[in-house]
């Protein structure tokens, strides 16, 4: 009996291609929400892809579950949270996305608690999401891990009317994707969808540049490189291009994915890419549906 129910459940996750259209029948924009732990996580993981989707007319939202109030060596608390919220808003403007929202949960204290899961469910429902992106629940930072768990726990529950009943449920389960990481245990990341971001790489750099408290202060301090941060604004951007972002070149696995989705010749031309893994808990798209959701993936 349990086996039969599981088969039925998988069938519900694999409906025909017509179900991949937007949740809102009056609005044909495909709606994307990326959910992560801290302001700036989304920029690192998928800033280039978010900018591409926004340019194509998609409704794109970034959601930070914590307010980032612990991520600094000199500042903290409410003033840091206020600063990071302003940085996130500016980064969202530079990426061209619709919204960059920061919830008021404490940085460094995130746990997969029911009330936060309900916050995530409401955000996904209110955005009427077709695509939900989250972090994998294996990471060096506990906030990252639990942000991933919270998104996983929201999958499927977003269609259940009696869960968070104050917010109407979605009509279908969205496609849930993981944003990339390099962790190998318990299992390595699967580069199911790989997007070349050369044309929006500068937007990604500019979005990072907006997170001054992180990329020019906290992260250099914690890595012992604070003395290497330039004072000149343009030199700072070059510092980002050649440093943290510049090191995020195309891996061999990404190159294979780029060649699959774009064709061998174009796939070999990209200098920068972002990858996504299909989560088993959401709608399971076919290759045809993936190309419909990500129209830049064309040979």
For residue 248, pLDDT over 80 is answered with no
For residue 4, pLDDT over 50 is answered with no
Strand partners, 64: 36, 102
CB 84 within 8 Å of CB 41: no
The DSSP result for 49-115, as a single string, is HHHHHHHTT-EEEEEEEE--TT--SS--HHHHHHHHHHHHHHHHHHHT-SEEEEEEEPTT-----HH
pLDDT single digits (tens) 166-225:
999 999 999 999 999 999 999 999 999 999 999 999 999 999 999 999 999 999 999 999
C-alpha 197/C-alpha 205 separation (Å) is 12
Predicted local distance difference test score (pLDDT) of residue 249: 82
Averaged pLDDT, 225-249: 87
Averaged pLDDT, 105-131: 98
pLDDT band (50, 70, 90) for residue 247: low
Averaged pLDDT, 227-231: 95
CB 294 within 8 Å of CB 195: yes
- Give me the percent of the chain exceeding a pLDDT of 90: 87
Choice among 22-26, 45-49, 100-104, 231-235 with the minimum mean pLDDT? 22-26
Predicted local distance difference test score (pLDDT) of residue 298: 79
Predicted local distance difference test score (pLDDT) of residue 16: 39
For residue 13, pLDDT over 60 is answered with no
pLDDT band (50, 70, 90) for residue 28: confident
* Arithmetic mean of pLDDT over the chain: 91
pLDDT single digits (tens) 46-62:
999 999 999 999 999 99
Based on its alpha-carbon atoms, the radius of gyration of the chain, rounded to whole angstroms, reads 19
Choice among 200-209, 236-245, 272-281 with the minimum mean pLDDT? 236-245
For residue 244, pLDDT over 90 is answered with no
Tokens of 3: 């086996």
CB 57 within 8 Å of CB 296: no
Q: What is the 3-state secondary structure (H, E, C) of 129-152?
A: CCEEEECCCCCCCHHHHHHHHHHH
Residue 130: name the closest of 10, 296, 283 by CA: 283
pLDDT band (50, 70, 90) for residue 24: low
For residue 243, pLDDT over 60 is answered with yes
pLDDT band (50, 70, 90) for residue 2: very low
- Give me the percent of the chain exceeding a pLDDT of 70: 89
Predicted local distance difference test score (pLDDT) of residue 76: 97
Domains and CATH numbers, the chain: 27-293 (3.40.50.10320)
């Amino acid at each position: 009996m349990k086996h039969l129910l599981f088969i039925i459940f998988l069938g519900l996750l694999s409906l025909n291609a017509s179900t991949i259209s937007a949740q809102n029948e009056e609005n044909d924009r495909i709606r994307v929400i990326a959910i992560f732990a801290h302001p700036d996580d989304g920029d690192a993981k998928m800033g280039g892809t978010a900018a591409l989707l926004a340019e194509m007319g998609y409704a794109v939202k970034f959601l930070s579950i914590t307010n980032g109030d612990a991520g600094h060596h000199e500042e903290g608390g409410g003033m840091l949270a206020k600063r990071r919220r302003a940085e996130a808003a500016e980064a969202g403007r530079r990426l061209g996305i619709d919204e960059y929202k920061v919830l008021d949960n404490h940085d460094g204290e995130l746990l997969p608690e029911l009330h936060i899961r309900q916050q995530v469910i409401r955000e996904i429902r209110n955005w009427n999401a077709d695509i939900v992106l989250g972090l994998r629940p294996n990471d060096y930072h506990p906030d990252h891990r639990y942000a991933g768990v919270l998104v996983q726990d929201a999958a499927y529950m977003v269609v259940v009317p009696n869960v968070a009943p104050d917010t109407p449920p979605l009509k279908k389960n969205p496609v849930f994707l993981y944003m990339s990481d390099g962790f190998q245990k318990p299992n390595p990341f699967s580069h199911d969808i790989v997007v070349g971001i050369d044309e929006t790489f500068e937007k990604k750099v500019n979005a990072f540049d907006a997170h001054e408290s992180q990329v020019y202060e906290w992260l250099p301090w914690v890595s012992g490189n604070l003395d290497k941060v330039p004072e000149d604004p343009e030199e700072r951007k070059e510092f980002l291009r050649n440093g943290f972002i510049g090191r995020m070149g195309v891996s061999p696995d990404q190159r294979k994915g780029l060649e699959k989705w774009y064709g061998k010749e174009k796939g070999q031309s990209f200098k920068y890419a972002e990858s996504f893994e299909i989560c088993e808990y959401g709608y399971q798209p076919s290759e045809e549906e993936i190309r419909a959701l990500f129209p830049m993936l064309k040979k």
